[in-house]
Amino acid sequence: MNALYDWIAGLAKAGRLPAIFEYAFIVRGLIAVLLVAPLLGGISHLVVARRLAFLSTALGQAALTGLTIGIVLGEPLNSAYGGIFGFCLLSALALVFVKRRAALPPDTLIGVFLSLTLGLGICLLVAVTKRFNIHQIEAVMFGSLLTVTDGDLLLLLVLGLAVVLVLARHYNGLVLDSLDPSLARVAGFASDRLDYLFVVLLTISIVVSLKVIGALLVEALVVVPAAAGRNLAHGTRSHLLWSVACALVAGFGGLALSSAFPVPSGGAVVLTLSALFFVTLGLGGLARRSSSR
């Protein structure tokens, strides 16, 4: 990776790239955007279609609980992925198990799990703050494109590719099950297996993205790209492409803002994405009015 950073820095010094690319942490942030945006942007339209937007919030809160569990078990503070992934996955699978057996609406059940994980996380956080400064977990809470390490990028690349490959293999079944579960069963797709599969893929996507977007803001990059893309889309495929495009634009915009101003990159990405939603809302309205004439 150092050879890549040196090559890009050489291009920046020669004037072929903006001067800001002389810094390796900017290049790492750019690579993180190129990996995270297609991953979360691509999965976002399925999250919305399956009405699991609230679940991403619950998993973000569960990540903080998983972080404290990982620290208690002796994991490094900056890479407590075992505790985070283990607790988030356990929470997601338990939620699907209860959802398929309870008569309550999914958003109510997610609210129950959100309260449970948040309460447990707060209690554990207070218990472990004697071992470290509370401000040390800000990177997990709010995310930072500018503090991403080579190890974070490698983990994001490997797990992101795995998620994309599995999603591509089961994409038709997931879309059909999202639109009409009974029709999916008739077509030979097992709805219960797709439910469990999707929450596992969503959990992996969220956990590997926490260092970039943060636990408190990850919901935005899982939901808003699909909402913005829907304003311009005319079908399932175009919805997917527009969702990815919106996530990429927001990622680049957030990186530029956090480089130019002293603001957290996760918050900058979310602000850019929110602004993009209203832009696409206006463009979509204009397109519909022009087509109706």
Domain with residue 61: its CATH number is 1.10.3470.10
Question: Does any domain span residue 281?
Answer: yes
- At 112, phi and psi to the nearest 5? -65, -45
Residue 126 has pLDDT above 80, yes or no: no
Which whole number is the average pLDDT over 159-164?
Answer: 91
Between the alpha carbon of residue 223 and those of residues 136, 147, 228, 243, the distances in Å are 27, 24, 9, 9
Task: For residues 81 and 223, give the distance between their C-alpha atoms in angstroms, rounded to a whole number.
Answer: 23
Question: Does any domain span residue 106?
Answer: yes
Task: For residues 81 and 76, give the distance between their C-alpha atoms in angstroms, rounded to a whole number.
Answer: 9
Question: Does any domain span residue 91?
Answer: yes
Q: Which structural domain, as residue segments, surrounds residue 136? A: 2-288
Residue 32 has pLDDT above 70, yes or no: yes
Which whole number is the average pLDDT over 113-130?
Answer: 74
Longest CA pairwise span in the chain (Å): 66
Structural tokens at position 103? 């008569």
Residue 130 has pLDDT above 70, yes or no: no
119 against 201, higher pLDDT:
201
What is the number of helices (H) and of strands (E) in the chain? 12, 0
pLDDT interval class at 163 (50, 70, 90): very high
Question: Does any domain span residue 41?
Answer: yes
Question: Does any domain span residue 293?
Answer: no
Structural tokens at position 202? 């969503």
171 against 61, higher pLDDT:
171
What one-character DSSP code corresponds to residue 214?
-
pLDDT score at 211: 73
Q: Is the dihedral of CA 279, 282, 284, 287 positive or negative?
A: negative
What's the CA dihedral at 231, 235, 238, 239 to 10 degrees? 50
Question: Does any domain span residue 187?
Answer: yes
Domain count of the fold of the chain? 1
Task: For residues 139 and 126, give the distance between their C-alpha atoms in angstroms, rounded to a whole number.
Answer: 18
Question: Does any domain span residue 167?
Answer: yes
Residue 162 has pLDDT above 90, yes or no: yes
Decide if 193 contacts 204 (C-beta within 8 A). Answer: no
DSSP per residue, 31-78: HHHHHHHHHHHHHHHHHHHTT-HHHHHHHHHHHHHHHHHHHHTT--GG
pLDDT score at 161: 92
pLDDT interval class at 128 (50, 70, 90): low
Name the least confident of 62-66, 185-189, 257-261, 262-266: 262-266
Question: Does any domain span residue 57?
Answer: yes
pLDDT score at 216: 65
